Structure 1
Amino acid sequence: MAEEKSNKKTNIGEVVSDKMDKTVVVAVERKTQHSLYKRVIKRTSKFKAHDENNECNEGDIVKIVETRPISKQKSWKVEEIIRKAK
């Protein structure tokens, strides 16, 4: 029962678009400190992730993992749906 350590990057974010076939757009929010004013600010990055069975809907919280390039802009895939949207 030893868990294997993976070198793949993972992120948790919210699905902001599911209009494409087998692709969702996931917004990942991170907090960073402003270099001059030392105030904590929010930064958002959007990733296109592969969703093989079209299970994700807008508003879902999902875990995405880095993978080989699937298309020009898609190199992440949805690993699991943490929380479904209401």
Structure 2
Amino acid sequence: MPRRILQGTVVSDKNDKSITVLVERRFTHPLMKKTVRSSKRYHAHDENNACKPGETVRIRECQPKSKSKTWEVVLGEA
């Protein structure tokens, strides 16, 4: 099964080797026919503590690293 890759903005890097990424998606509401913005926060593993708040990063699914982290930062892309 392919791993999902999402793109979002880093909103927090306070924990060691962890970041919080805000991923925003747009879709058309089925009844109102209006474009709606929806966002969700994901906890991602950042091995080298390289990401800083405000940066745009790509994250991909991985096996669970901890209770809340099932995503990791894709290196070499941004």
TM-score by length of 1: 0.84
Query: CA separation in 2, counterparts of 1:55 and 1:24?
Result: 10
Give the aligned partner of residue 64 of structure 1. Answer: 59
Structure 1: gaps of 5 or more residues? 1-5
Q: Which runs of 4+ in 1 moved over 2 A?
A: none
Structure 2: gaps of 5 or more residues? none
| Match 1:39 to one of 27, 34, 40 | 34
Compare relative contact order (CA 8 Å, sep 6+) and give the higher one, 1 or 2. Answer: 2
Across the two proteins, how many residue pairs are aligned to each other? 77
The structure that has the greater radius of gyration is 1
User: Identity, % of aligned pairs?
Assistant: 42
1:53 aligns with 2:45: no
Q: Structure 1 stretch 15-24 or stretch 32-41: which is displaced more?
A: 32-41
CA RMSD of aligned residues (A): 1.2
